[in-house]
Amino acid sequence: MADDIRVTQAGSLIEAVLADDIRVTQAGSLIEATGPDALRTVQAGLLIEYVVLVYQGSTGPAGQGTHQGKGPKGYRGKRHGGFGLDTHRTVQIVV
């Protein structure tokens, strides 16, 4: 393909115009033209879906400084190290 490879100066390195069209895989090796990547990845993650079964009434263990409390969702625990109030299960529904 025109301009895919261009020698800009005698004795110079070969300049790859398109990213990854050329890659030297080992010192002293031949030049390998790899072509377009079949796969690129820039992120990976493991997601865990869970259900909290243990509810401890209105207060859970206190948060530890900047760490989140062990109570479900550790209400304010992460910010203030306060009580892990379980607002999720103990909120009062009023008329």
Binding site for another protein (CB under 8 A): 20, 34-54, 68, 70, 72-76, 78-79, 87-89, 91-95
Q: How far is the CB of 90 from another protein (least distance, A)?
A: 9
- Rounded to a whole number of angstroms, the CA Rg of the chain reads 29
Choice between 6 and 79, CB closer to another protein: 79
Beta pairing partners, 14: 7
SS3 31: coil
Q: How far is the CB of 82 from another protein (least distance, A)?
A: 11
Torsion sign (Cα): 56, 60, 61, 64: positive
Q: How far is the CB of 52 from another protein (least distance, A)?
A: 5
